[in-house]
Structure 1
Amino acid sequence: MLYDDFYVKSLIRTVDDWPKPGISFRDITPIFTNPKGMRMVVDAYVHRYIDSDITHIACIDARGFLIASVLAYELRKPLVLIRKKGKLPGETISQKYDLEYGSAELEIQVDSVKPGDNVLLFDDLIATGGTLVAAISLLQSQGATVKETAAIIDLPDLGGSNRIQSLDIPVFALAAYEGE
């Protein structure tokens, strides 16, 4: 079996009132401690993108790194790190954005992508879309095309996937939590 969404979703733990009261945090770390679950998640993405025109995989600090690095290895694609401000050496560009529960700033190294690159942008979760929209802006500012965004979890009620799709960028997620 390539992918069992019920099984993978059963591994995702909900932590109420974290990182602040009123937030129900979807914790994917149990996937990483479960070899079967990890294999299902990685294989689902490999099979989705193996014949695509993706040239690069970009991922967002920090949980996005975990699956995206394995995916880049499996697909033999360059991995582009998008990190919190001050974490990348060399010349960078940055983009501020709002989170569901605060604000932050992302950076990318200026030589990570170039015009003509087709990028899959990966993060662990789509909430309000602020992080992904900031990352899209960084990639596009360097001339790359974001072909799709991918995540393990989508929280459609928070509007992030619709926000990304309004930019004409498809969204793919393995699990969605609506009305919860």
Structure 2
Amino acid sequence: MDLKALIRDIPDFPKPGIMFRDITTLLNHAEGLRYTIDTLTQKCQAANLLPDYVVGIESRGFLFGVPLAYQLQAGFVPVRKPGKLPAAVHQIEYELEYGTDRLEIHQDALENHHRVLIVDDLMATGGTAKATADLLGKIGCEVLAFAFIIELQALGGRQKLPNVPIISLVEY
């Protein structure tokens, strides 16, 4: 299946010069969505990835992470932006192009021996994925791999990530 055909390009969003890759058109295509989850599952199984948990990055990582966790017989843990989680959190601050941001995870969500797979819809510069890996490393988790629907290769995000498998279904 040609997933690129199911991803809508929106020029100049959210600002001029940016080509936004909109996955809502993939999400509402039943066969495309099933194919996406099935293909992610197959690639993880083929790489012999056996995570204890799938960690989804807010918010579109949740959309793919939960069904992937189900298929891999793993639990699911969300990594969220500040102020979204109700219990005590671990947090990490990371650099953005202009300023900083922060990610949080519940303190009781993972333990230092857990093996995790990090999932998001898109990898651009790799900053958020790297921050997630760094946060999980602070807890003592083992990051097994990353899985993305889309990878924007020209932005070099792959080079920022730890030396583990990186699964991308569509590359631009």
State TM-score, norm by structure 1. 0.89
* 1:136 to partner: Cα distance: 0.5
1:76-122 CA-to-partner distances (Å, cap 9, x unmatched) read 21101000010011110211223456642111111211122111000
Q: Distance in 2 between matches of 1:99 and 1:117?
A: 28
What count of residue pairs does the alignment treat as equivalent?
170
Amino acid at match of 2:148: A
Correspondence 1:135 to 2:132: yes
**Following the alignment from structure 1 to structure 2, what is the Cα–Cα distance between the partners of residues 101 and 26?**
21
Instruction: Give, in whole Å, the separation in 2 of the partners of 1:70 and 1:156.
Output: 26
Alpha-carbon distance in structure 2 between the residues aligned to 1:90 and 1:126: 28
SS of equivalent residue, structure 1 residue 84 = coil
Question: Is 1:153 aligned to 2:169, yes or no?
Answer: no
Over the matched positions of the two proteins, sequence identity in percent amounts to: 40
Structure 2, unaligned runs of 5 or more: none
* 8 Å Cα contact 1:100/1:127 also seen in 2: no
1:171 and 2:166 equivalent?
Answer: yes
Who is 1:13 aligned against? 8
When structure 1 is superposed on structure 2, of 99-108 and 143-152 the one drifting more is: 99-108
User: Which residue identity lines up with residue 83 of structure 1 in the other structure?
Assistant: R
Instruction: Give the aligned partner of residue 104 of structure 2.
Output: 107
Q: Matches of 2:110 and 2:49 in 1, distance apart?
A: 18
State the 1:36 CA deviation: 0.6
Counterpart contact for 2:43–2:167, Cα < 8 Å: no
Query: 1:36 aligns to what?
Result: 31
Assess, with a 3 A threshold, how the Cα gap between structure 1 residues 151 and 102 changes in structure 2: closer, same or farther: farther
For 2:95 and 2:50, how far apart are their aligned partners in 1? 31
Match of 2:67 among 55, 67, 70: 70
TM-score by length of 2: 0.93
Partner of 1:119: 116
Q: CA RMSD in A?
A: 1.4
Q: CA, structure 1 residues 140+156, in 2 after alignment: closer, same or farther (shift >3 Å)?
A: same
- SS of the residue corresponding to residue 105 of structure 2 reads strand
CA distance in 1, matches of 2:33, 2:41: 12
Cα distance in structure 2, aligned partners of 1:78 and 1:90: 18
Instruction: Give the letter aligned to residue 24 of structure 2.
Output: T
Q: Is structure 2 residue 18 aligned with structure 1 residue 23?
A: yes
Cα distance between partner residues in 1 of 2:97 and 2:34: 30
